[in-house]
Structure formats: structure tokens, C-alpha cells
Structure 1
């Protein structure tokens, strides 16, 4: 019996019935609603905002949160498959869902008060309220401890001053999760974006994540009440815990991008005639396609195991770093090689490889660069911190 070229180890057979149903549902959405428009969205540098209600209707926003807060109560593997199938469409769309779910809804759920959960999460799950995550600053993306944004108490309020950079959804957001230095250490705040003194400026001229909104945030005397502070987040463990959640999804997302490029190159190699035979009949092409299949298979196994560990409550941050490092490197290398196999056709956005390759330049950088994750593993195996 022939194997699925994009699932050589039959990972699908390891999934539960619910996990398979989730993957099929999101795959169908990606095929029918995302792929027909996403090339044009990338060309036009336009986020497909019209898809947000459908994404919400499928239960993809805050999918792992309990149903009482608007979530779907899915397990971590199902959420990973959501990320994989969305990124098979485009990294920008998966980034939107990751930020909304892992970086905005998760901290409200994990660190927020019950009042905050009830006020925000159901509306965010419906896509009525869009969030952004304000941690990164221009001078120190990989060093959040050096953040310059400050929040100070003023009576019963907090006043926040500072700026954030490279913020996904910034100009779409109705609410921002803002992290700031205080006299009690780093703390998080739920800040409505219509608060006086809050501003967002979209970043243009991007050659990556063009179908995504990326912004700079500015906070000039932004005043919020004590009720806006996330009471369960104290110190850098708060934002870093959110990043671990987001990185987990990112370990799955690039698998989808790699599969999209691989399937496209495989089909092209079977049709493209050179010197009287298909490109796929040459040893050079077969070796390259086989190498792609090997690396995709290893990434699939890595993320599946990570998801099972996460659902068992046994996942460690270093394990997430290993998978993020491996799977992003796998995907960007495959995208580049597929672009080459497509020849001149590969430089246009009529084909997926160049778009995915450009997007992955961001994915391999955000949520910890490749070097940062290499050093996390280096610290884990040697016991020595080389940061």
C-alpha cells in the first residue's frame, strides 16, 4: 500500500478521532477559504480580516480554553494541528490565531482575575475583541528583562509609559496585554487600545508576513485602574510562560508551511519535462525530495511527542526550544529548496514556496531566534548559562 508522501510514518493513525476531525475541519477551511485569496493578500500586504468570523466560528480562538470562557476545550495536539493547517495556508494567519489564543487569551486565563476572564475571554473567542501582546521592544527583542516600559502607581490607578515593537495585530487590536517594569518587578496589564495615550503605528515595507498586521505601540501616560493588572503574573515568568505557550504552536505551524512547499514541488517535478523525462525521474530531484520527506517526518514526530508531553503536564521549556529550533530550520530550508526546484516559476507568488520562505524568515526569528534556542539547549545539556 502506497504511503502518503507528506505522512510517511502515518502520524494520522496516532491521532484520536477528535484530533483527526479538528485537522480535517481546519484543512478544509484552509483549502476552500484561505488558499484562493492568500497569494493576493500577500501581494497587497493585506490581512484577510474577512476570515476572522469564520475562524472564530470554527472554534479556533482560545481553542484549548474551557468552554465556560468561550473555548473549545481541545487538547494540545489538536491545537497544534490547527496551527499546522493554518500555516499550510500562510504564516500570517497562524500568527493571528497564535497571538489571540496563546499570547492574549492565555495570560488572561492563567494570570487574570475571574472578572477579567468573564469580561474578555468569551468576546475574544467570538472574534469580537482582537488582542495584541506588548512585550518586545526595539532595543532588546531577545532580552525582555531590559525592557524600558514603566508602570507606576498613582492612587488607585497605574500609569504606563513606553513603546513596543514588532507587535502582531497591533493596529487590529481592541485590547493589548502590556508588560512593564514596576517597583514590584515586571507586571502585565490588560489595556483597551482606545485608552487615552495609547497609539499604534503599522509597520510597512515588509518582505515577510505581508498578510499580517505588524505594529509599533506607543504608551504615553496611559492610565488604567488596578483592575486592569493581571494579579497572577509576577516577574518575567509571566510573559515567558505566555511565550512557551506560543512557541509550542509554532513548532507545529512550520510543518504546515513545509508540507505546502513540498507537495507543490513534488507535483511540479512530476509534470516538468526536461531532456525528455520528468524532473522527478532524475536522481538529483529524488534525493532532494526524499530529504524533504525525511525532515518533515522527523518534525512531525517531534511535535506529536511534545504535544503528548504537554497534555500530560510534563513538557519542559527546553523541549519546546528544541522543537522550535528544529522545525523552523527544517521548514525554511525546505521552502528554499522547493523554490529552487520550481526554477523561474518559483519566484512568483502564484506558487507557495517563495511566500512561505519569506514568511519563515520571521517565524524563525520571533518567539526566540534560532541562536537563542540553541543556547537554551546548550544550557540544558551543560548546566552552564552562556547568554
Structure 2
């Protein structure tokens, strides 16, 4: 089976863009992905896979062709919907197509417009990714669901609300370096822990924003990729689980994340200790702590210690969410997973600007759907 590479990647800024449409946002992301691949000929793209939830109900049917045709790509297009993991799965589908030999170049990406609906409507559209009968229709929000997970974690392990805040403070500091970030400002530990309570114990600073945005990644075969400008997709793993948290055996882990990571590590013949930089799915601060443990960066119950010791700071042993993460960079649902890969591609090819880290060879992207009904982990490796 042949190798697959990221040969170009681009995204829009994440934020609120009342003058943009989902089509124009995606077209911009595609344009930037092609430009990053030294003006790669769009006519060489064989097919496309696009992730979106379809917030607001705009063009739910055939939204994939709607955006690719607008972007000037007249290619077979598949839409993927796996809640917040939609474009992470789109990247995985692109890798499968390239590795199988069915395509030489696949564009994978995603988009979402979330800020042009009311708060109540946004809550509805976010809620459709939770378990419908026993969570959404009984009034449970995702903030409430992750608050339950946070409460269980704080009760079980040596962790406090301040530890949740440490993740938020770190990611805001990183987001302040990112011109594409929705919330490009820093915050203090006191501000994060003392913020307005959204769902106890989660404060406003522990919750990601609702964002507009798009991201696109060019996945190509070894016959197309030029090693100096490419990052090899060393491994990709995916897993599904019960959609409702109450249906699972644990509130202090996302089993789908652990299973997806195990599959990705096995494919890549790598392990957690090989990872130099990671973009993890921190829709709420507790999700970042759970990710550390599910991805094997530390043992169960030790995530807070990693934060306290500065291990995951940008100058630490394992920088996590140097883009700002979902918390500060933003979370346009369908674009998030591809956006993580965009950041890793930039880091591994030396294109991250003020965010650039030194000596990064292996990057990990971790993308979760809902509260853990789906997860995908992608490992990228710099070409030496």
C-alpha cells in the first residue's frame, strides 16, 4: 500500500464573518491550500471529501458539491457528517482513497457558518450531535455534558478547577500568536477560574466559541508529493462509541479517542513518546485533560500534573494546541479537524510563522465528534 502525503493546506481565519458565505469561506481555504502547494494545478485534483454539520440548515443536501463547484473544482465530491469530527474523517477518507490507488490527489476539508443564527438556534444545532432522546430533548447541552465529565474527573483525581483553567490560559496565550484565531487574546488564571459559570464547574473561559470558518488539505500519493514541501501521513485511526455519555462505562475518558489513537500509532509504528507537537480537541477544558490520558501522553489521573509542570506549553517537552486549540483558535464544527491538520502541516514544514516550533518531526491531530461518539487521530511525519 502506497504512502499518502499532505502537500498543501490552508484555512480562513476562524471567527464571525457576516459578509461571507459558507461557499466563499471554503473557496478561500481551497485557494490557500493550492497556493501553499506552490500553486498546484486544481485540475490535478481527482476528488474531494468535505466535512460539515450543516448548522442553520443551509444546503444540507449536496453541500459538498455546492462548495467544491463554487471553488472551481468539478470533481466527485462526498460530504462527511460526523459532528465535530467531520473533517477529521474527511482527511481519513482522503488518505484511504490515495493509499488504495483510487486517486492520486484528494482535497479534504470542511466548513461551518455558526454565527448567523440566534443563541437558541445555535444551541439546537450543536445539540443534534448529542444523544437525541435522553440528552438533547431533555434539555442537556454540550456544556452540561462536559460539565458532568469535569465533575466526575475532579472528584476522582487530584485535579481542581484551576487545572482546567491552566489549559485555557495556555491555549489563549498560543491563540494570541495566531492571526487566524477567533479569540486572539490572553487571559490569566484568575480570570479563567473566576469567569461566569456556564455549567458548574465550567466557566466561560473553559468553553470554546461558536465560529465560522473553513479549512482544506491536499492529500497526495508518493508519486505526486515532493518531499521538501510535504508531510507524510504516517498513521490514521478512527473509532466510534455510544453517542450518549450516560451509555458508556466511564465519564473520565473518551474510549473512542483511545481506540483511534491506538490504531494510528499501530499504523505509523510510533507511540506517544514519539509525538513532538499535538493539536487536540479541547471543545471544553476538561476535554484537553482527557485527551492527554486517552492519547497516552500520561497515565490516568496525571493530566493535571502535565499542565502544572508546563509539559504542554509551547516551550515544554510536548507542546499541545500551539494554534490556540478550539478554545482560542475557534471551533467551526465542520472545519475543525482539517484545521488541526493545517496547523501540523505548517509546523512540520517550517511555515508556522511566529508560532513555529523548533525540531518537530511528528505531529498528532485528535478530533472528536460530539462528546465522544466518534474520534479520529492522524499522525503526520516531517520528511527528512
Question: What TM-score do the two structures reach when normalised by structure 1?
Answer: 0.23
Specify which structure has the bigger relative contact order, considering alpha-carbon pairs within 8 angstroms and separated by 6 or more residues. 2
Largest Rg, 1 or 2: 1
| TM-score normalised to structure 2 length | 0.23
Q: Identify, as 1 or 2, the structure richer in helix.
A: 1
